[in-house]
């Protein structure tokens, strides 16, 4: 296979929200930018999302930077990086404006010109600040495509797998480019550049078919960074959306609801129809997912490892029509999916839905400075390497607040793009680049034509099954150690798998690369989860009672060295703000109020439910 060499100022790996924002900003700074995307441009999780984005002050004039930042810290069990949550809170409005400047059209208040938020706070928020869009993520995708191609100054390569980074150790660790496989041309391409931005998403394909994300989320961000010597953080915290289709298999993993959409009267039931949870509307995704995972672990789950989400109590009285409108107007794809998968009666919300958690987001990621510079295991900056979007770790701590991912991508994408474009250093010698290029090219090209007993995709399916049962929504020491011991077999099988000599669209080679990345991510998740012995946010330990008390005010970091994963604890300062206690009190009051409404007779209950659902819809009560 031929090897081509190209030169750029900035390489952006990924073309979703973060990648597009980074490339656009780097281009504005005058850099020669190349976007590398294994999927068609903008075909990322952003495009298939519900399109709901956090915009401070969009739902309340009382909203402040401090309150939003505090919500994020509290929601993340106070183990997140406060400098990152502060930056997020300060810049969510500017991020929305940037999207609007590129064509995003949100519903706006004619008096203030501000975007209009959903009438109730999404999970973890103390105030309404989540702005929805008529066409969901498609509206964002159109804006991002404009940002990438409107000026014709950003080069792109689609159907290209970024394989590894070139790291020079002349003085300090520094980036000088990387190697990619261009599937449509059947070539390897060596890109020489002083700056690389990793923005190629998460790892939810590790849990296939239990995921609602794009297939391309194969942990590339984290594996690329780890092999380059970067430090990862919070990797034990994987966000699962609790209410996804459990069966039939062709629809498994597709999300059909959030805690905030369950209504005041929605409940969870076990396999025998016994109620196991109510007041779902006030829960976070992590709390609701944990209930299902614990029920399954206790033998109370369905044969498809789920429970029943019963929303039918919400359908009584005049409020029932309003509740149905929430789905039809704010989440239109949900009922369409339910009808196709579960039938017309289920789509009328006339019977319970069998649901199970679906992998949605990785809270952890690459550890960075407040300027998105990537840190190595010695807390030193890897010069020229940046991370943004889901690739970036430390922002969310143990759990991500609803609607924050789109804002996050735009905010930190722009920051990374600016920093990468401004990065200057002495050039790496041609001899160094030749050696790095040869090292990586020889390794990957040697895989072509490799003889083996199994195809890489079969190895990947075994890995996914191992991950779901061992590092899925609920874990214990036995399951975590089983994953770590099983990964050795996975790695050996993958390295010795059968890969044909084809150059153009060699799917087995692609499967090998992605399985290699996923297996490294699985090891990091399991190793980090063993360190945190108590349940925290999205990390649920079924055996936590067997361990001594743990203050939990630390983040778990990890790094990859000489083929092994190492972990450490990073102390975090506890939140001393009065906001934390006030937020807790408000949350408890809301739960108590919902419980009171649920116990009322219909004639008293119905008008109160109408008020709640009208507020959600943005209608005057």
Catalytic sites, residue numbers: 285
Contact 354, 306 (CB under 8 A): yes
- From 501, 538, 417, 556, select the one nearest 18 (Cα to Cα): 417
CB 337 within 8 A of CB 193: no
SS3 for 294-323 is HHHHCCCCCCCCCEEEECHHHHCCCHHHHH
DSSP assignment string, 108-148: B-TTT-PBPPPSSPPTT-SS--EE--TTTHHHHHHHHHHHH
With H, G, I as helix, E, B as strand and everything else as coil, classify residue 64.
coil
List Cβ neighbours of 416 (8 Å cut-off, separation of 6 or more). 18, 22, 25, 197, 199, 372, 386, 387, 388
Strand partners, 7: 192
Please check whether residue 309 is in contact with residue 353, taking contact to mean a CB–CB distance below 8 angstroms: yes
Query: CB of 508 within 8 A of CB of 457?
Result: yes
Strands 353-362 and 130-131: unpaired
For the chain, count helices (H), then strands (E): 17, 22
Nearest CA-CA partner of 235 in 513, 487, 527 = 527
E strand or H helix that includes residue 358: strand 353-362
Q: 209: cis peptide before it, omega within 30°?
A: yes
Find, among 440, 382, 429, 425, the residue nearest to 197 by Cα: 382
Closest CA to 117 of 58, 52, 67: 58
């Amino acid at each position: 296979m031929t090897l081509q060499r190209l030169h750029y100022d900035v390489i952006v790996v990924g073309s979703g929200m973060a990648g597009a924002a980074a490339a656009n900003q780097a281009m504005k700074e005058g850099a020669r930018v190349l976007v590398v995307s294994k999927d068609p441009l903008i075909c990322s999780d952003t495009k298939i999302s519900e399109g709901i984005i956090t915009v401070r002050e969009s739902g309340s004039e009382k909203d402040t930077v401090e309150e939003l930042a505090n919500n994020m810290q509290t929601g993340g069990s106070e183990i997140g990086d406060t400098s990152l949550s502060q930056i997020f809170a300060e810049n969510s409005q500017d991020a929305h404006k940037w999207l609007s400047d590129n064509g995003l059209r949100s519903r706006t208040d004619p008096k203030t010109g501000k975007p209009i938020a959903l009438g109730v706070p999404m999970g973890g928020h103390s105030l309404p600040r989540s702005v929805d869009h008529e066409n969901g993520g498609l509206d964002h995708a159109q804006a991002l495509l404009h940002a990438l191609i409107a000026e014709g100054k950003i080069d792109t390569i689609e159907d290209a797998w970024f394989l590894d980074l070139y790291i020079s150790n002349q003085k300090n660790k520094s980036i000088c480019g990387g190697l990619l496989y261009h599937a449509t041309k059947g070539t390897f391409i060596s890109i020489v550049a002083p700056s690389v931005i990793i923005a190629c998403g998460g790892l939810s394909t590790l849990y296939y078919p239990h995921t609602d994300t794009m297939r391309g989320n194969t942990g590339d961000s984290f594996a690329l960074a780890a092999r380059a010597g970067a430090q990862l953080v919070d990797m034990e915290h994987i966000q699962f959306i609790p209410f996804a289709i459990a069966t039939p298999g062709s629809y498994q993993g597709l999300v059909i609801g959030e805690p905030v959409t369950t209504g005041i009267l929605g409940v969870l039931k076990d396999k025998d129809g016994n109620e196991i949870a109510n007041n779902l509307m006030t829960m976070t995704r992590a709390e609701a997912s944990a209930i299902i995972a614990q029920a399954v672990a206790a033998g109370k789950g369905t044969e498809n490892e789920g429970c029943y989400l019963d929303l039918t109590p919400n359908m009584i009285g005049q409020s029932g029509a309003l509740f149905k409108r929430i789905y039809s107007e704010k989440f239109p794809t949900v009922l369409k999916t339910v009808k196709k998968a579960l039938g017309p009666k289920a789509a009328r919300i006339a019977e319970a839905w069998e649901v199970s958690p679906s992998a949605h987001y990785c809270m952890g990621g690459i550890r960075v400075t407040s300027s998105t510079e990537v840190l190595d295991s010695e807390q030193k900056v890897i010069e020229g390497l940046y991370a943004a979007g889901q690739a970036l770790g430390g922002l969310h701590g143990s759990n991500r607040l609803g609607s924050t991912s789109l804002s996050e991508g735009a905010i930190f994408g722009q920051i990374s793009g600016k920093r990468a474009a401004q990065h200057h250093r002495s050039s790496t010698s041609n001899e160094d680049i030749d050696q790095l290029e040869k090292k990586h090219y020889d390794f990957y090209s040697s895989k072509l034509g490799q003889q083996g007993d199994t195809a890489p995709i079969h190895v990947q399916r075994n890995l996914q099954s191992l991950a779901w049962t061992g590092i899925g929504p609920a874990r214990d020491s036995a399951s975590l150690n089983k994953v770590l011991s099983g990964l050795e077999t996975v790695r050996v099988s993958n390295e010795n798998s059968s890969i044909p000599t084809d150059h153009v669209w060699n799917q087995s080679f692609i499967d090998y690369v992605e399985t290699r990345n996923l297996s490294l991510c699985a090891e990091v998740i399991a190793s980090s989860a063993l360190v945190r012995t108590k349940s925290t946010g999205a990390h649920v330990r079924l055996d936590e009672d067997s361990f001594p008390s743990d203050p939990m005010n630390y983040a778990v970091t990890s790094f990859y060295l000489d083929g092994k994963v190492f972990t450490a604890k990073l102390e975090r300062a506890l939140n001393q703000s009065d906001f934390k206690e006030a937020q807790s009190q408000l949350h408890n009051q809301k739960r108590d109020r919902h419980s009171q409404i649920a116990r009322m007779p219909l004639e008293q209950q119905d008008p109160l439910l109408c008020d709640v659902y009208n507020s959600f819809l943005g209608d005057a009560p």
